[in-house]
Amino acid sequence: MDKPRFSPFLASLRPALVLFLVLSVLTGFLYPLLITACAQLLFPRQAQGSILVRDGHAVGSRLIGQSFSDPGHFWSRPSVTTPQPYNGTASNGSSFGPLNPQLIDAVKARIAALRAADPDNLAPVPIDLVTASASGLDPEISVNAANYQAARVARVRGLAPERVRALIAQHTGGRLAGVLGEPRVNVLELNLALDALK
């Protein structure tokens, strides 16, 4: 057994300090640089944020949701980021507990807004359309939430409802291997496709 002649802390000082610096360089600089280089080479689009381009302009990311309030577009899930919804630099959710009166009031207001935009629709409102996501940037809604809005979008745009439903089906992501993920629709991609219809 080693018997340090002086305090064990002092004996450890040089290895502790130098090892800390060496491992910091290795894991703090070289490792992220290596990953960045490989990522830019192998997956440049994903590494840069999966940006969607229309007419030469970046219109968003397929992974980051946007706020829609035009009844002719599909609406995203409610977002509670501040000061504006879908603020990309302030991801956040509500953290309201299930009994919080503010949660109940917010859900009531969201139901009222959906009903006001589509008074004839008497179907129950899908839960994801009236609850805030965890990130405040959820790019997707459930297939149920898209179907719920289909009649409204078709009416406002003067399209046949079947055409809108077909578009939803085209943009529906299923479960990977039948297990992974939930049935869902990417709202920005769906709205881009909708805008592209003549």
Partner 1 sequence: MPGPTLTLFVGFMLLVLALVKPLGLYMANVLEGRPVWPLRLAAPLERAIYRLCGIEPAREMGWKAYTAGLLLFNALGALSVYLLQRCQRWLPLNPQQLPNLAPDSAFNTAVSFVTNTNWQGYSGESAMSYLTQMVALAVQNFLSAASGIVVAIVLIRGLARHSSGTVGNVWVDLTRSTLYVLLPLAVLLALALVSQGVVQTFSPYREVRTLEPLTYQQPGTAPVTTQVQTLPMGPIASQESIKELGTNGGGFLNANSAHPYENPTALSNLLEMLAILAIPAALTYTFGRMVGDTRQGWAVLAAMTVLFLALLAVLDWNEQRGNPLLAALGVEQTPSATQAGGNMEGKETRFGVAASALFAAVTTATSCGAVNSLHGSFTPLGGFVTLFQMQLGEVVFGGVGSGLYSMLIFAIVGVFIAGLMIGRTPEYLGKKIEAFEMKMSSIAILVMPFIVLTGTAVAVSVDAGRAGAGNPGAHGFSEILYAFSSAGNNNGSAFAGIAANTPFYNVALALVMWIGRFWPIVAVLAVAGSLAAKKRIPVSEGTMPTHGPTFVVLLIGTVLLVGALTFVPALALGPIVEHLMLWGSG
Cα atoms found within 13 Å of the Cα of residue 178, Cβ hemisphere only: 0
- Per CB under 8 A, the list member of 125, 151, 159, 193 interacting with partner 1 is 125
- Min CB(176)–partner 1 separation in Å: 6
Which of 33-44 are b and which e, b meaning 16 or more Cβ less than 10 Å from the residue's Cβ?
eeeeeeeeeeee
Task: At 67, give phi and psi (nearest 5°).
Answer: -85, 130
171 neighbors 190 (Cβ within 8 angstroms): yes
In the window 29-58, what residues touch partner 1 (CB under 8 A)?
A: 29, 31-32, 34-36, 38-40, 42-43, 46-51, 57-58
Cα(149)–Cα(194) distance, integer angstroms: 13
139 neighbors 185 (Cβ within 8 angstroms): no
- Min CB(175)–partner 1 separation in Å: 6
- Per CB under 8 A, the list member of 60, 152, 154, 164 interacting with partner 1 is 60
- Per CB under 8 A, the list member of 138, 149, 154, 164 interacting with partner 1 is 138
Q: Which is nearer to partner 1, 86 or 153 (CB)?
A: 86
- Min CB(27)–partner 1 separation in Å: 4
In the window 91-120, what residues touch partner 1 (CB under 8 A)?
A: 91-101, 103-104, 107-108, 111
Q: Is 197 in the site for partner 1 (CB under 8 A)?
A: no
Task: At 169, give phi and psi (nearest 5°).
Answer: -60, -40
In the window 141-170, what residues touch partner 1 (CB under 8 A)?
A: 141-145, 147
- Per CB under 8 A, the list member of 5, 6, 69, 156 interacting with partner 1 is 69
77 neighbors 133 (Cβ within 8 angstroms): yes
